[in-house]
Amino acid sequence: MTPPSPQSSVRSVSVSFDRVVDIYDSTRGLPPGISEQVTEVIIISEKTSSIRK
């Protein structure tokens, strides 16, 4: 008797993307206010690096 292959004991569950699209979308952005902070850091970084050149 041969043991089952690892693949045969693993069940794959498929979920329609339409059912999870709202959950997925909610994970794709930054929390409120963080985007503005990131923008400020990038602008300051760019100004600082151009001064050093």
Give the pLDDT means over successive 10-residue stretches in the chain (53 positions): 60 77 81 92 88 65
Run of H or E residues at 49: helix 34-52
Contact (Cβ atoms closer than 8 angstroms) between residue 25 and residue 33: no
pTM, whole model, 2 decimals? 0.43
CA–CA distances in Å: residue 44 to residues 2, 26, 27, 38, 53: 64, 29, 27, 10, 15
Identify the residue whose tokens are 């151009």.
Answer: 50
First to last CA, the chain: 72
Identify the residue whose tokens are 């990038």.
Answer: 42
Give me the pLDDT at residue 47, please. Answer: 87
